[in-house]
Amino acid sequence: MKVIERVMSLRTTDDIISRYMPETLNEHEYIELGQRACSQIKTLVESDWAECWSQLEWDEADVKVYSRKSAEFEEAKENMLMLVMDLPTSVEHLERLLFPWFEFRVKWDEMLAMANVIERLSEETFVMRHVVKKRLALSSRDAIDATSVYRQDDGSVIMGSTGTEHGKWGPQEGFVRTKQYLGGYYFRPIDENNTKFMMIFCADLNLPIPRFISNMVAKLKPRLMVEKARNLAKAVNKYPL
């Protein structure tokens, strides 16, 4: 009887642990997440900016960052951001530099430590693990994302990404798991050699510090986005297509 009780206890313990283990979604669910992220970015970028993106967080001649409430995501505590910048290169070149399944992203992006493909689900849909380096008050972080690419008839390309989970990649020791609600890029060709570049970012940093300090750190996000965009501009020349 005691043996049976112990076995039942172990099963109960395993059941409790399993509730906290990340789940692997099926292929259709991951693809749907990635495609939905692309659709959301398309809607946000193609909206009336005067109404949708009325707050300007960064205003310089070469780059601007707008913000808005993350109304699409009830759980989100921090604002959504959109960076806008013109870059002197083609859409195809920017794809090669930015899409994390190519070799160049980790070479120029000073914040990105690594980007691993966990699963490739279709021609342009992936489950990715991104690892971000420690920076100022931000500890080393990682995220599991469903990522898709959507191509439009006018030559514009959208990469959309949203946070998800995978059974083989639970929270890792030494990393804070970031919750990304939406992220990605919108490339709109101006001509053959110039592209309007939009970057969307909506994530909670989940900092283990008082809320008012967390709010102060969140204000660094526009600056970090601008740094990334300017490093991308340098990479255009450093890594020609």
* 200 CB-near residues (< 8 Å, 6+ apart): 41, 44, 45, 80, 81, 82, 182, 183, 184, 185, 186
Q: How far apart are CA 149 and CA 129, in angstroms?
A: 17
pLDDT per residue as tens digits for the range 197-228: 999 999 987 666 566 565 666 678 999 999 99
Q: Yes or no: say if 25 and 31 are a contact pair by the CB < 8 Å rule.
A: no
Assess contact for 145 and 30: CB atoms under 8 A.
Answer: no
Please report the pLDDT score of residue 12 as a whole number.
33
Q: What is the pLDDT of residue 219?
A: 76
Pairing of strands 141-151, 176-177: parallel
Residues 86, 42, 72, 113, Cα dihedral to 10°: -60
β-partners of residue 117 are: 128
For 162-189, the pLDDT digits (tens) are: 999 999 999 888 898 888 999 999 999 9
Q: Which CATH fold would you assign to the domain 24-238?
A: Alpha-D-Glucose-1,6-Bisphosphate; Chain A, domain 4 (3.30.530)
**pLDDT tier at 137, thresholds 50, 70, 90:** low
Q: What percent of the chain stands above pLDDT 90?
A: 74
At 10 the pLDDT is: 34
pLDDT of the residue at 101: 94
What pLDDT sits at residue 216? 65
Domain boundaries, the chain: 24-238
**What pLDDT does 208 receive?**
60
* Strands 179-191 and 64-68, sheet pairing: unpaired
Distance from CA of residue 155 to its chain's centroid?
Answer: 22
In sequence order, what DSSP letters do the residues of 167-192 get, joined into one string?
TT----TT-EE-EEEEEEEEEEEEET
- Residue 197 bridge partners (DSSP): 85, 187
pLDDT of residue 87: 99
Which of 14-23, 53-62, 151-160, 171-180 has the lowest average pLDDT?
14-23
Q: What is the mean pLDDT of residues 6-29?
A: 56
**Residue 6 clears pLDDT 80, i.e. is over it:** no
pLDDT digits (tens, 9 = 90+) for 41-74: 999 999 999 999 999 999 999 999 999 999 999 9
Six token digits for residue 8: 């039942």
Digit-coded pLDDT (tens) for 85-128: 999 999 999 999 999 999 999 999 999 999 999 999 999 999 99
**Closest by Cα among 204, 200, 176 to 76:** 204
Q: By percentage, how much of the chain surpasses pLDDT 70?
A: 85
Q: Which of 138, 76, 129 is nearest to 106 (CA)?
A: 129
Question: pLDDT tens digits for 80-94?
Answer: 999 999 999 999 999
- 129 or 5: which leads in pLDDT: 129
Provide the whole-model pTM.
0.87
The span from the CA of 164 to the CA of 182, in Å, is 11
**What six digits make up the tokens of 65?**
């960052």
